[in-house]
Amino acid sequence: MAQQLNKLEYRHIFEPTKEIIEYIDNRRKGIVKSLKTRWHKFNKTCMGGIEPNTISTIAGISGE
């Protein structure tokens, strides 16, 4: 239910929030497929792997 105001479209915050919660839940359940890596713990942390068609930055401190 998008409305227009001066040619700018806006939606109530409830709508995009509902969409992203459904998307996250579908990734968690495996309905939306992820690109699996060889690291099981990484895949588990990232809901099944890396999300396709995205640019991700992974950072951490260096080991000793």
pLDDT tens, position by position, 11-32: 899 999 999 999 989 988 888 8
> Which residues have a Cβ under 8 Å from the Cβ of 60 and sit 6 or more positions away?
none
Q: Looking at the predicted structure, is the pLDDT value of residue 4 above 80?
A: no
Comparing 8 with 16, the larger pLDDT belongs to: 16
Comparing 18 with 60, the larger pLDDT belongs to: 18
CA 41 – CA 58 distance, rounded (Å): 14
Comparing 45 with 17, the larger pLDDT belongs to: 17
The pTM score is: 0.59
